[in-house]
Chain A
Amino acid sequence: MKFSLASLFAGLVFGLGLIVSGMANPEKVLGFLDIAGLWDPSLAFVMGGAIMVGVVAFAVAGKRTLSFLGYHMKMPANTHIDKRLILGGLTFGVGWGIAGFCPGPGLVALGAGEIKAAVFVAAMVAGMGIFEVIERSRAKA
């Protein structure tokens, strides 16, 4: 219960942050990705602001084995830079550049009642489903 409440809080603050920052608006994101046009550096400031806070949080977390609510710290153990990581990142980046949506802003825009965002999110979930199907059939083979 505590775990889910903290998750709800984190999701809500994350979403509010995306709205404040302007990143729930795909045109703003595309303005950042369009370096050859008139460039809007705002997204870099969003990342900068988030990472400033994040660096402190991860430094604190690194010294702990349990979270402040008493849960085990689950940190990613994989440090390999492999083909999956890079090809996955490139694939995601192409999709990001086409519509200006990454997963978080897509979900926030869906919550704002944007039909087009709902279509994007439905396709994104379908893409994640395709990944699951391929992974499972691979695991069987």
Chain B
Amino acid sequence: MIEIAWSNFTPWSAMVGGILVGIAAASFLLLNGRIAGISGILGGLLSPAKGDIAWRLAFLVGLIGAPAVWILATELPPIEIKAGYPALIIAGLLVGVGTRYGSGCTSGHGVCGLSRLSLRSLAATLSFMGAGFVTVYVIRHLLGA
């Protein structure tokens, strides 16, 4: 049986934040005609075509600059990173290679792909979510880390 962590569950802020993410993806799509896929926007910088660099950097500056804009209004919510450095390096490598081979991540396949009812993106989303569930199960419940 699944037990819900009621004390951690934040449906309203999750929903409001999700709507903001949706507005971001919608504006990128309707203004620029593109899919807001973060791994693709970042990865595309590694083999850039002419005239293809500035907008990618602009998107990333906005994303990375979001906390700086946030603290103009209020304190940042906590960011708890429990993984150690070796785990972070392995995780980063896997996320980098995997998102490029799979042509997308949580934003491109998960948010945009599912919004456009793409079966290919559904398959990708099920793959990374499934692998995520299994990995956390193995780490937390089999290895007990």
Q: Which residues of A come within 8 Å of B, CB atoms?
A: 3-28, 30-31, 33-43, 45-58, 60-62, 66-69, 71-76, 78-81, 84-104, 106-114, 116-117, 119-132
A61: min CB distance to chain B, Å: 5
Whether the pair B59, A10 counts as a contact (CB closer than 8 A) is yes
Given A7-B58, A11-B62, A125-B42: A22 touches B10 (CB 8 Å cut-off): yes
Given A42-B8, A93-B129: A12 touches B63 (CB 8 Å cut-off): yes
Given A33-B136, A47-B114, A50-B21: A92 touches B34 (CB 8 Å cut-off): no
Residue of B whose beta carbon sits closest to that of A90: B131
Interface positions of B from 87 to 107, Cβ below 8 Å from A: 87-103, 105-107
In the bound complex, residues from chain B placing their C-beta under 8 Å from that of A15 are 62-67
Q: How far is B26's CA from A56's CA once the two chains are assembled, in angstroms?
A: 8
In the bound complex, residues from chain A placing their C-beta under 8 Å from that of B28 are 6-7, 10
- Interface status of B30 (Cβ within 8 A of chain A): yes
In the bound complex, residues from chain A placing their C-beta under 8 Å from that of B141 are 36-37
In the bound complex, residues from chain B placing their C-beta under 8 Å from that of A38 are 3-5, 8
Indicate which residue in A30, A42, A49, A92 contacts B102 across the interface (CB closer than 8 Å). Answer: A92
Q: Which residues of B come within 8 Å of A, CB atoms?
A: 2-5, 8-11, 13-36, 38-39, 42-43, 46-47, 54-70, 76-83, 85, 87-103, 105-107, 109-112, 114-120, 123-137, 139-141
Q: How far is B105's CA from A95's CA once the two chains are assembled, in angstroms?
A: 12
Q: How far is B36's CA from A76's CA once the two chains are assembled, in angstroms?
A: 12
The 4 A-B pairs of least Cβ separation, nearest first, read A127-B96, A21-B17, A49-B18, A88-B102
In the bound complex, residues from chain A placing their C-beta under 8 Å from that of B3 are 37-39
15 CB < 8 A contacts A-B: A3-B55, A6-B31, A13-B24, A22-B10, A36-B137, A38-B4, A39-B5, A49-B17, A93-B98, A94-B132, A95-B92, A98-B91, A99-B95, A128-B46, A132-B46
